């Protein structure tokens, strides 16, 4: 078989079906989010297919380029974010459904999860709109705030799993079944809330303040791509937490327990979103660089002590 045949096999039989599955789960998660939010607010909420309708409607809209924008960067940025989300979904799917991984795939996953945020910053900055620039600036500051504790949580996982960078070995590791692992899980859950840019960390896209910030000038297909990326992240990030801390989705009938883990994490995200006020960007940075980073440092320190002295519960 020629090399190009392998690439086509990878595209048609692995990445494309994986993308469709991830998108469907992501859109279902969006519906659950909107439905639970509506019920909390004593509303009926949207029908099951409403996220699909919204996406199809956006694709059919005209694409408008703002005056003063950099067209190539403005239109290319959503594709960068979507590519990062799709590849991250494929990587997590390979580990959880196929039990397939490679050395260092954790580092690749962390890098891929950074691309959607980078795409939002680049796209907003290239639009030429001052409101978009404000949103991009807030997104950049938010990344600088939560990436440090998130990286420390990943380091804690690596130490607890025996200094491995292989996701299969991490899934088989202790996860949150230790003091340091549990603290790292709490840190990661808080950072996931910020990475999804939902309340209390929806500062970059604050609709009531800056009208979706970096995305305010997007329309049509580019906006649909960004919304697709956000739906994928709602599938990817809970699965990321499950993979690193909760033993993965499992195999066979155990996968039903994995689905319950995913739903539980999704509900926690939604409840936090609906029971907290939005923070200012300075409050968010202070929160992450003090309380959350301190908690992450404690987790990493306990993991290191546990490894040095052979105390598994640390």
CA angle 47, 52, 55 (to 5 degrees): 130
The pLDDT assigned to 194 comes to 94
- 47 in Cβ contact with 55 (< 8 Å): no
* Residue whose token pair is 């003063």: 68
Q: Are 161 and 173 in contact (CB under 8 A)?
A: yes
Can you give the pLDDT at residue 20?
85
Q: What residues contact residue 126 under an 8 Å CB cut-off, 6+ apart?
A: 69, 70, 73, 74, 77
Question: Would you state the torsion angle of the CA atoms of residues 232, 237, 77, 152, taken in this order, to the nearest 10 degrees?
Answer: -170
pLDDT of residue 34: 93
Q: Spell out where 144-235 has E strands.
A: none
Which whole-number Å values give the CA distances from 284 to 144, 148, 273, in the listed order? 11, 13, 15
* CA of residue 182 relative to chain centroid, distance: 20
**Rounded to 10 degrees, what is the CA torsion of 30, 145, 121, 94?**
-50
* 19/231 Cα distance (integer angstroms): 12
Q: Provide the residue ranges of all domains of the chain, joining segments of one domain with +.
A: 3-309
> Residue with structure tokens 């096999």?
9
220 sits in which H/E element: helix 220-245
Judged by DSSP in three states, 174 sits in coil
Query: 159-188 burial string, b = 16+ CB within 10 Å, else e?
Result: bbbeebbbbbbbbebbbbebbbbebbbbbb
Q: Which of 60, 77, 51, 27 is nearest to 219 (CA)?
A: 60
Distance CA 96, CA 242 (A): 10
Q: Tell me, what's the pLDDT at 2?
A: 45
Query: What does each of the 314 residues of the chain score in pLDDT, given as a tens digit?
Result: 444 555 455 555 566 777 888 899 999 999 999 999 999 888 988 999 999 999 999 998 988 888 888 989 999 999 999 999 999 998 998 898 888 888 888 999 999 999 999 999 999 999 988 999 999 999 999 999 999 999 999 999 999 998 989 999 999 888 898 999 999 999 999 999 999 999 899 999 888 887 788 999 999 899 999 999 999 999 999 999 999 999 888 887 888 998 999 999 999 999 999 989 999 999 999 999 999 999 999 999 999 999 888 888 88
Torsion angles phi and psi, residue 185, rounded to 5: -65, -45
CA atoms within 13 A on the CB side of 113: 28
For residue 282, the surrounding DSSP H or E stretch is helix 281-287
**Nearest to residue 64, comparing CAs of 219, 257, 275?**
219
| Model pLDDT, residue 118 | 94
């Amino acid at each position: 078989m020629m090399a190009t045949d392998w690439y086509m096999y990878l595209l048609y039989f692995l990445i494309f079906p994986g993308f469709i599955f991830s998108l469907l789960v992501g859109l279902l998660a969006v519906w659950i989010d909107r439905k639970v939010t509506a019920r909390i607010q004593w509303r009926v909420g949207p029908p099951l297919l409403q996220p699909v309708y919204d996406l199809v409607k956006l694709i059919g809209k005209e694409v408008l380029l703002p005056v003063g924008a950099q067209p190539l960067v403005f239109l290319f940025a959503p594709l960068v974010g979507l590519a990062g989300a799709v590849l991250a979904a494929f990587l997590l799917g390979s580990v959880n459904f196929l039990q397939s991984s490679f050395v260092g795939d954790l580092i690749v996953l962390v890098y891929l999860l950074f691309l959607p945020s980078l795409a939002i910053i680049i796209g907003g900055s290239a639009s030429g709109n001052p409101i978009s620039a404000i949103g991009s600036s807030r997104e950049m500051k938010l990344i600088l705030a939560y990436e440090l504790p998130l990286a420390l949580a990943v380091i804690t996982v690596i130490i607890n799993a025996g200094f491995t960078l292989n996701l299969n070995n991490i899934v088989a590791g202790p996860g949150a079944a230790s003091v340091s692992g549990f603290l790292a899980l709490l840190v990661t859950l808080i950072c996931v809330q910020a990475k999804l840019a939902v309340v209390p960390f929806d500062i970059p896209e604050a609709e009531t303040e800056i009208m979706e910030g970096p995305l305010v000038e997007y329309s049509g297909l580019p906006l649909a791509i960004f919304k697709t990326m956000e739906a994928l992240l709602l599938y990817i990030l809970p699965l990321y937490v499950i993979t690193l801390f909760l033993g993965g989705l499992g195999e066979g009938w155990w996968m039903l327990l994995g689905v319950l883990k995913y739903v539980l994490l999704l509900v926690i995200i939604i409840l936090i979103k609906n029971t907290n006020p939005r923070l200012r960007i300075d409050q968010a940075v202070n929160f992450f660089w003090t309380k959350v980073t301190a908690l992450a440092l404690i987790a990493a320190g306990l993991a290191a002590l546990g490894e040095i002295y052979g105390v598994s519960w640390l």
